[in-house]
Amino acid sequence: MDSSTLPAARQSASGAPPHPFLEFVQEYSSSAGAMAGFLVICALIVVALGADWLSPHPPHEQYRNALLVPPAWAAEGNAQFLLGTDDIGRDILSRIFHGARVSMSVGALVVVLALLLGIALGLVAGYFRGITDIAIMRAMDVMLALPSLLLAIVIVAILGPSLLNAALAVVIVQLPHYVRLTRAAVLNEWNKDYVTASRLAGAGPIRLMLVTVLPNCVAPLIVQATWGLSTAILDLAALGFLGLGAQPPTPEWGTMLANALQFIQRAWWVVTFPGLAILLTVLAFNLMGDGLRDALDPKLKQ
Amino acid sequence: MPLLEIRNLSVEFGEKGHALRAVDAVDLALEEGEVLGVVGESGSGKSVSMLAVMGLIGYPGRVHADRLAFDGVDLLTLPAAERRRIAGKDIAMIFQEPMSSLNPCFTVGFQIMETLQVHEGGSRRQRRARTIELLDQVGIPAPESRLNAFPHQLSGGMNQRVMIAMAIACNPRLLIADEPTTALDVTIQKQILELLLSLQRERGMGLVLITHNMGVVAATSHRVAVMYAGQMVEQQPRDWLFGAPRHPYTAALLEALPERGLGRRRLPTIPGVVPGLYDRPSGCLFHPRCNFVQERCRREEPGITHSNGLLVRCHYPLGAGAPGDGLPSGGGRP
Amino acid sequence: MLAFILKRVSLVIPTFFGVTLLTFGLIRLVPGDPIDILVGERGIDPARHAELLHQMGLDRPLPEQYTRYIAGVLSGDLGRSIVTKTPVLEEFAALFPATVELSLCAMVLAVAVGIPMGVLAAVRRGTVLDYATMGLSVTGFSMPLFWWALLLILFFSVYLGWTPVSGRVSALFWVEPHTGFMLIDSLFSDERGAFVSAVRHLILPSIALGTIPLAVISRMTRSSMLEVLGEDYIRTARAKGLAPLRVVGLHALRNAMIPVVTVIGLAVGVLFAGAILTETIFAWPGVGKWLVESVRRRDYPVLQGGVLLVATVVMAVNLLVDVLYGMINPRLRARR
């Protein structure tokens, strides 16, 4: 008769599962990319808010005797202009800092507006169904039938080129995505028991929409909004680049690249740095969006 | 020599130090031609242990065992290609959900012929003929017409038959059936079980039948293994187990069977729940729910006691239905 | 099968009419005189103004104007360009192949590189390779396209001198436009070296345009692959003792490709948005550049007609993809 015992290699009885918010923070911070994105965005917000103090020069100031100066580390560089100057002598670093303010604020405005409007329409479509639903969704289909940039260009063509009109155009371009998302989430939740229970208890439409259903749709909306922010920044920059968005001398990153093609041979820094700024910002938002999605979606947990 | 020999098998998932032990120090043995019923609640580790045998535990799981051998061959040290030759040909496994266990993009005939092609070779015509023969053996009517059917075009019972045909295609010596009838209608369940058993008898295959249904085990198995929370708590020949269970958990399970509760007004239940990741008890895992719990059970984890083909993991195994004082005396008993 | 196709078509038709409403309303929304906008003549005398107004039906009630517009559209009359006086449809047809050629090349690149990248990342999940490829992917679609194109030009054309900066083929060659596809036409032309020149001109724009779809496809492939690899039938395939290459390459890939193919098909819209920017930078004579210039030159008939045509093409391609998808996926077929 032999007996085999085993080493007690089990973990001891630990306590209850952690609080949901703490769990979310733990999950989110476990991703290096997501944390990097978050930190970069924090830095960008600081830069955007403090652009006036952080910039070595005013963004519109033209230094007539310092046209197309290379970055400080290059041969003919000047420590006064860390990233060099553009064709009319403005400091690129300062313009990039102020550009952060433009992109972040307008981008955030665009997304918030599109989100609010999109949620409203999506809730209405999902709740009332019938002809309202069909009308709204058909309108969204029409908007989605056009490639996004084309739709934005068309809108700006009607309204005239300016940063405000470009922002409006991007709001309209993003709208269908939030409407669709909200509507799908509403339809999904509608058949669940807790909604039926609320309806039986006599909850009216507003209460049902805002208090009962909406909080459960919030997670995918947050994720989509984060990605929406990065798309908004890209689209605004594209419109700026085409001359249809922010007009010179506004230091918007895309606008800064608008006439850069002509300098591509003699002044590479004019082309590189504004674009790099866009890339880093958009990358940060995308990584944050990914991190949020992974942290908020329980199914993806291993 | 046993056909399948498992000693001290453990399977862990997750980060080291914070891992979930799905299978915890399991011992198992199966002889040629024997039917072993593995029974336990959901989450008891019965499926995972068999997946480990087949080598199907992937990232992020980790498998450890002192011994994991099939027909004397050590599976742990075998190179991957060799192991693939054994798993699939000599050991076959069928799963619980027949509808999702077959590839929806390929026809049923293709999937069976693939097994034949990989392990046995032969011309297309030969494989086709053999496939039709197999489909017939598992009781599928008009087998030629089914060759080009897609899994979603067949019912659950038919799909399970296809799975069985695929599993026995290369004449395996051991068949592992992981809850093969749980997802099927009650009437089909009986048919599938009978099919499995007749195939087992005809071919002299070893059969590991994983189930949570004690009735199925009673009707089919030569030996029974009971699992709880990842651990093996009892293993006995069937009649002995049903007649004289040694572990309090087994006894409680049998007590809870409706058939045994005839005449009583209330069916007995086992209070409490199976421990999860965050609430694993100290000492014996079953002690919070055990009717016969003692101080030692709370402090110390029991090891497995082997005697005469009987395994039990308990400080105070039941002797003929009453708490004993240690190891049971040997010898045959009803 | 036919019923399936008809149903899909019937869903697209109202959207098409919706788009015509949009383009019709477009012109009416532009501030200013409609004659001025549509004909491009300013300060014309009132008599001529009234004559043109009546000729173009602008004095009729709106619904009637719309009907006239639709009738025109369906018979192929989308107006004339103010600048070149050529019918819009004709200009579109001449420029369209260039955009198609560029988009196709970009797509081929995106698929040929993106799918293997995604598969590799999925199979080697959690390793450096996975993080590297996915890092590249997320960077890829975070980049502003126009900047990436400029960088490519900076490096390959200016710095290395390997590729030309603009156009479809070197100005030294004259290629007869038979099909409109420079790669094909240059092969058939008598000019030696034309084909090579065409290829050299196509490389950089294709890379620029294809980068974002590549990034998206590789990500999609990876997540689709990971999902499929966790499915029961993959476990069965492994249990059968199949070699890993077969499990991944045959069993998993076929299922994983289903959502990816849909994404590829629907990427047409995204590709066109990118084409607008790419064509502008590389001076590629396609529809995108044409539309951007029409905005700058206030050539409204071109904008109106061009937008409608582009939207129609995008809808048609989406419809085609939808139908093809229904044909490929046996489960969808069986359901109706």
- Per-residue pLDDT tens for B276-308? 766 788 888 888 888 888 888 888 888 888 877
Beta strand B20-30 with B4-13 is: antiparallel
Is C232 close to B95, i.e. CB distance below 8 A? yes
Instruction: Give the integer Cα–Cα distance in Å for C140 and C148.
Output: 9
Q: What is the 3-state secondary structure (H, E, C) of C174-222?
A: CCCCCCCCHHHHHHHCCCCCHHHHHHHHHHHHHHHHHHHHHHHHHHHHH
Closest-CA distance of chain A to residue B20, Å: 9
**Average of per-residue pLDDT across C324-335:** 62
How far is Cα A246 from Cα A107, in angstroms, rounded to an integer?
13
Structure tokens at C285: 């004579």
Does residue A256 surpass a pLDDT of 70? yes
Read off the tokens for C36.
């001025």
**Contact between A279 and C269 using a beta-carbon 8 Å cutoff:** no
Q: What is the pLDDT of residue C115?
A: 93
Report how far Cα B280 is from the mean position of its chain's Cα atoms.
24
Q: What is the pLDDT of residue C38?
A: 67
On the CB side of A279, CA atoms within 13 Å amount to 18
Name chain C's partners: 3 or more CB pairs within 8 A.
Answer: A, B
The pLDDT assigned to C329 comes to: 65
Asked if residue B134 has pLDDT above 80, the reply is: yes
- Kindly report the nearest CA distance between residue B254 and chain A, in angstroms: 26
Residues in chain B: 334
Which of C125, C138, C142, C315 to mutate to test binding with chain A, by most A CBs within 10 Å of its CB?
C142
| A280 or C84: which leads in pLDDT | A280
Average pLDDT over residues C106-130: 91
Rounded to the nearest angstrom, the minimum Cα separation between A146 and chain C is 5
Mean pLDDT of all residues in chain A? 83
Per CB-CB distance under 8 Å, the chain C contacts of B154 are none
* Band of residue C225 on the pLDDT scale cut at 50, 70, 90: very high
* Spatial distance between the Cα atoms of B285 and C56, rounded to a whole number of angstroms: 88
> From the CA of C229, how many Å to the nearest CA of chain B?
11
Beta carbons of C146 and A257 less than 8 Å apart: yes
Q: Which tops the pLDDT comparison, C165 or A149?
A: A149
Model pLDDT, residue C330: 59
Q: Is the pLDDT of residue C101 over 50?
A: yes
Strands (E), A167-242: none
Does the distance separating the beta carbons of A145 and C315 come in below 8 Å? yes
- Which residue is associated with the tokens 């050529």? C86
Can you give the pLDDT at residue A15? 53
Q: What do you get for the CA distance between the two ends of chain C, in Å?
A: 8
Of the pLDDT bands very low, low, confident and very high (cuts 50, 70, 90), residue C114 is: very high
Give the neighbours of chain B: at least 3 Cβ pairs within 8 Å. Answer: A, C
Q: B123 or A77: whose pLDDT is higher?
A: B123
pLDDT tens-place string over residues B54-84: 888 877 788 888 888 888 888 888 888 888 8
Is residue A191 less than 8 Å (CB to CB) from chain B? no
Q: Do the beta carbons of residue B200 and residue B35 sit within 8 Å? A: yes
Helix, coil or strand: residue A119: helix
Contact C238 B152 (CB under 8 A): no
* Mean predicted lDDT score pLDDT of chain B: 84
**What's the one-letter identity of residue A17?**
P
The C-alpha atoms of residue B107 and residue B110 are separated, in whole angstroms, by 5
Which carries the bigger pLDDT value, residue A79 or residue C12? Answer: C12
Residues B183 and B132: beta-carbon distance below 8 Å: no
What is the per-residue pLDDT for A9? 37
Segment holding C263, helix H or strand E: helix C253-266
pLDDT band at residue C213 under the 50/70/90 scheme: very high
- Position B225 scores a pLDDT of 92
Q: Which of B13, B83, B103, B119 to mutate to test the interface with C (most CBs of C within 10 A)?
A: B103
B119 Cα to chain C: minimum distance (Å): 8
> Which band of pLDDT confidence, cut at 50, 70 and 90, is reported for residue B316?
confident
> Which tens digits make up the pLDDT trace of A197-239?
888 887 777 777 777 777 777 888 888 899 899 999 999 999 9
Task: Tell me what pLDDT residue C144 has.
Answer: 92
Is B67 touching C (CB cutoff 8 A)?
no
State the Cα–Cα distance between residues A241 and A247, nearest whole angstrom: 10
Contacts of A144 in chain C (CB under 8 A): 269
Chain-chain contact of B115 with C125 (C-beta, under 8 angstroms): no
Residue of A294, C130, A24, A14 lying closest to B19 (CA atoms)? A14
In this structure, of B155-169, C28-42, C111-125, C210-224, the range with the lowest mean pLDDT score is C28-42
Q: Place C158 in a pLDDT band, splitting at 50, 70 and 90.
A: confident
- Report chain A residues whose CB lies below 8 A from the CB of C138: 33, 283, 286-287, 290
Q: What are A7-19's pLDDT values in tens digits? A: 333 333 445 666 7
Contacts of C270 in chain A (CB under 8 A): 147-148
Mark yes or no for CB contact A283/C150 under 8 Å: no
pLDDT above 60 (res A268):
yes
* Range with lowest mean pLDDT among B52-61, B257-266, C2-11: B257-266
**ipTM attached to this prediction:** 0.84
Contact at CB, B60 and A10, closer than 8 angstroms: no
Question: Which residue bears the tokens 């007649």?
Answer: B243
d(CA C318, CA C310): 12
Q: By percentage, how much of chain A surpasses pLDDT 70?
A: 92
Of B13, B25, B280, nearest to A6 by CB-CB distance is: B25
pLDDT at C325 over 80: no
pLDDT digits (tens, 9 = 90+) for C271-295: 888 999 999 988 889 999 999 998 8
d(CA C206, CA C109): 8
Chains A–C, number of C-beta pairs less than 8 Å apart: 128
Residue A299 has pLDDT above 60, yes or no: no
Q: What is the pLDDT of residue C39?
A: 65
Instruction: Flag if A145 and C295 touch (Cβ within 8 Å).
Output: no
Q: Which of A288-292, B276-280, B300-304, B325-329 has the lowest mean pLDDT?
A: B325-329
pLDDT over threshold 80, residue B4: yes
Average pLDDT over residues C321-334: 67
| pLDDT at res. A16 | 63
The pLDDT, as a whole number, for residue A171 is: 95
pLDDT of residue A1: 33
Enumerate the β-bridge partners of residue B304. Answer: A4
Contact B234, B311 (CB under 8 A): yes
Cβ A16–B301 below 8 Å, yes or no? no
Give the number of other Cβ atoms within 10 Å of residue C162's Cβ: 11
Chain B closest CA to C268's CA: distance in Å? 26
pLDDT exceeds cutoff 60 at C125: yes
Rounded Cα distance, B68 and B52, in Å: 9
Say what percent of chain B tops pLDDT 70.
93
Cα of B165 vs its chain's centroid, Å: 19
- pLDDT tens profile B12-37: 887 766 678 888 888 888 888 899 99
Question: How many A-B residue pairs are in contact by the CB < 8 A criterion?
Answer: 50
Report pLDDT for A298.
59
Tell me if chain B has a CB within 8 Å of the CB of C232: yes
Across the interface, whether the CB atoms of C158 and A230 are under 8 A apart is answered no
Distance from B304 to chain A by nearest Cα, in Å? 6
Judge: A1–B330 Cβ closer than 8 Å, yes or no.
yes
pLDDT (tens digit per residue) in A85-132? 888 888 888 889 999 999 999 999 999 999 999 999 988 888 888 888
Question: Per-residue confidence at B176, pLDDT binned at 50, 70, 90?
Answer: very high
Which residue of chain B has the CA closest to C232?
B101
Band (B333; pLDDT cuts 50, 70, 90)? very low
Interchain contact, C150 vs A260, CB within 8 Å: yes
